[in-house]
Structure 1
Amino acid sequence: MFIDLPLDELRRYRPSVPEPPGFDAFWQRTLTETRTHDLDARFTATDAGLALLDTYDVEFAGFGGHPIRGWFLAPRGAAGPLPCVVQYLGYGGGRAHPHDWLLWPCAGLPTLVMDARGQSGPNRPGDTPDPVGAAHPGVPGKMTQGLLDPETYYYRRLFTDAVRAVEAAGVHPVVDPARIVVSGRSQGGACALAVAGLVPEVAGALIDVPFLTDVRRALEITKEEPYGELVRYFAGERLHIDRALATLDHVDGLNFAVRAQAPALFDTSLHDPITPPSTGFAAYHHYAGPKEQRVWRFNGHEGGGGHQRAEQLRFVRELFG
């Protein structure tokens, strides 16, 4: 069943932006502090059994100088500078294996896949620990880790890692740093949206069913994971709700959308109970740069699947001619 507003109302849905005081200063200071650490981007060639690709095990310094892992794949022997797609991961999984990321290098574009610190899963194992301990008790998962203070919140670290991934991709000799597109689905879509708002030099953004947008509404209409982690936390920590919501405002995609200028392609599904469609429409409507949206009427959190990938190939091809 449809779990949100009717489509005609979704096309008009434009909620207020929950911008906290000092939002720009908070993120400027975060990135400035992070950049005091040498990026130290390392690309170690590895044999992944992919005869037509050059494959590298990547490591660079993310938030706090912490080492972040990833993969870098490019067409074998490609001569740069070429456009590059930086990819971010959905919740609860890691960078997995090089052969899981063939779309963009098969289309002729190198790609950097950023591991998500502290996350792993049975089908998408990760390799990057999160050395920052919990600042206060929370429920299992990342959603409540450090939630009572923007300084300690998990997504401050993850979004900063995502910015540094763009910087790492840009130093590889085959990549044109002026033609980098960020891409992700769900949590990865949240990362792509955040980077589009934080890095004016980004050339494009592919934002699929983005998580962590219009968060206050999402918490009112869904208990699906991972928003369910917040719902369970609030059920017990009744006196900390307003403080926690103020932290979430610092990572809400709406605040990044109004600052983003790169051309973007959005993916929204009307049957999505995990990132309710109204939250995706809110991000799309507030996105300040040139934008397109594909709406999938009878799909859930999987979004447009292969059809959306085809749209993304078209979008990037047109973006770079």
Structure 2
Amino acid sequence: MLTDLGLDALWAYRSSYEAPEDFDGFWASTLAEARAHDIGLTLTPVETPLRTLDVFDVTFAGFGGHPIRAWLRLPRSAEEPLPAVVQFHGYGSSRGSELEQLHWASAGYAHLQVDVRGQGGVTPDPVGSGPAYPGHLTRGIESRDTYVYRRIFTDAARAVDAVRVLPEVDPARVAVVGNSQGGGIALAAAALVPDVAAVHAQAPFLCDFRRASLVAGGRPYTELTGYLATHRTRERETFETLSYFDGVGFAGRATAPAWFSVGLMDDIVPPSTVFGAYHTYRGPKEIAVWDYSAHEAGGADDLRAVLGSFESLLKPTK
């Protein structure tokens, strides 16, 4: 069943989000602090049974110079330099196995799959936080300076910096992609590194927080409502913090060609929040609406369409 507005209302919907006046200054200073650290890129070859791809265990310096892990997959015998795809994973998940997510490298891209700090993978978050509702969404939410997504979004920008250092990669042809949390991170990365070449945001989480808090019936957004139900006097301060991390704000600053997707039966990310970001997006954009999809937002069919669009835009080596 539909979980949010009908399609006509979604096309008409506009988010009430307004970016704080110092949004750009906050992120400029945050990235400058991170980039004061050497990128510290290391690649360790990983033995696999794969015959057409090479895999590396990667470490690079993210927020605070903290080490961030990733998989790098490269197509063997490909003509270089390669276009690259930097991928971010869903909420509470991880970069997974080195034998998973092989489609991007198989299609001719250098593929950097980033492990989000402090979640289900191998990258810790060494920064503590105050009281939070169980999960990740409210960690450090007392302040924009301590909020966990300040670190995660900075790590994402540094991931783009890292892949551009690789001699196998054409730094002008780097795309950012992700599903759910990964889609929200990709939108942030596209705004923070405005010369990325393309974006794929599949059912992006972390957009239109105020709207999501009012209509989402399941996790992870209910972690936010659970926090506010306990910290009843912190509503204003909480949404003030979130205003620096809202995907609608990043969408209004990103200009790379973008492909969004949304499932109208999504009970995790309300479709109106996706449209809130889509309508605000500054660059060339398309949105695939999957009437009978839930959070997978078209799944492999959506991915097939984006692979075709990236092929014509980024011209991967075959």
Aligned to 1:257: 251
Contact 1:145 1:153 in 2 (8 A): yes
**Equivalent residue runs for 1:257-296 within 5 Å:** 257-296=251-290
Amino acid of the structure 1 residue aligned with 2:153: F
Aligned to 2:80: 80
Contact 1:296 1:304 in 2 (8 A): yes
> Taking structure 2 as the reference length, what is the TM-score of the superposition?
0.97
The answer to whether residue 300 in structure 2 is matched with residue 316 in structure 1 is no
Residue number among 188, 192, 209 corresponding to 1:198 in the alignment: 192
Compute the displacement of 1:205 (Å).
0.2
> Taking structure 1 as the reference length, what is the TM-score of the superposition?
0.96
The answer to whether residue 209 in structure 2 is matched with residue 231 in structure 1 is no
Aligned to 2:127: 132
Compute the displacement of 1:296 (Å).
0.3
The answer to whether residue 111 in structure 2 is matched with residue 116 in structure 1 is no
Compute the displacement of 1:79 (Å).
3.3
SS in 2 for 1:306: helix
The answer to whether residue 210 in structure 2 is matched with residue 216 in structure 1 is yes
Distance 2:218 2:16 in 1: 24
Residue number among 129, 132, 145 corresponding to 1:151 in the alignment: 145
Distance 2:73 2:314 in 1: 19
SS in 1 for 2:306: helix
Distance 2:34 2:109 in 1: 28
SS in 2 for 1:95: coil
Distance 2:17 2:239 in 1: 13
Distance 2:144 2:251 in 1: 19
SS in 1 for 2:154: helix
Distance 2:225 2:15 in 1: 21
Distance 1:317 1:2 in 2: 33
How many residues align structurally?
315
Amino acid of the structure 2 residue aligned with 1:239: T
Aligned to 1:123: none
Compute the displacement of 1:148 (Å).
1.0
SS in 2 for 1:207: strand
SS in 2 for 1:225: coil
SS in 2 for 1:178: strand
SS in 1 for 2:151: helix
SS in 1 for 2:99: helix
Compute the displacement of 1:21 (Å).
2.6
Q: Which runs of 5+ in 1 are unaligned?
A: 121-125
SS in 2 for 1:99: coil
Instruction: Map Cα deviations across residues 153-176 of structure 1 (whole Å, 9 max, x no partner).
Output: 000000000001111111111110
Aligned to 1:170: 164
- Identity rate, percent: 50
Compute the displacement of 1:18 (Å).
2.1
Compute the displacement of 1:246 (Å).
0.6
C-alpha root-mean-square deviation of aligned residues, in Å? Answer: 0.9
Aligned to 1:307: 301
Compute the displacement of 1:12 (Å).
1.3
